[in-house]
Amino acid sequence: MDKDHSNDNPSQETREKKLQSKLDDLGSQVENLAAKTAESIKRAADKALASRNTVLTIRVTDDCNRKLNMLVDAGLFKSRSESAAFLIEQGIRSQDVLFSKIISKLDKIDKIKEELKTIVSEEISQTKKSG
């Protein structure tokens, strides 16, 4: 009456194979996601970099330099300059609210400067007439 229970309860080897298969599938999905993400970043970077026309010389920390090099080594950018330009662009975009506030204040400052110029011009004109 010995019944073979191998059909009822999978062997350790079968469970390990199934687990390895699931891990392989997961690894493949992660790899595909990473490739798609890298391609998406590359497309965004190419678009952002297409209109670059100003040369800017900057100093960065060693850590920043290593990270810029990582982006180049990963194949996302052709140079550190491109990777830095992309990151600067993204940083500025992420601070859109701040830049809107700055623009508003600068507009007010420009208006006040124009008012001051008008006041000074009128004073100078008055001085010339009375003198």
pLDDT digits (tens, 9 = 90+) for 94-118: 999 999 999 999 999 999 999 999 9
Structure tokens at 23: 């891990």
| Cα–Cα dist 79/126, whole Å | 61
Backbone φ, ψ for residue 2 (5° rounding): -65, 120
Structure tokens at 122: 């009128």
Instruction: Identify the H or E element spanning 60.
Output: none
Regions of the chain short of the pLDDT cut 70:
1-10, 45, 48-49, 131
Domain residue limits, the chain:
13-94, 98-131
Global pTM?
Answer: 0.52
Structure tokens at 101: 């506030």
pLDDT digits (tens, 9 = 90+) for 11-23: 888 888 888 888 8
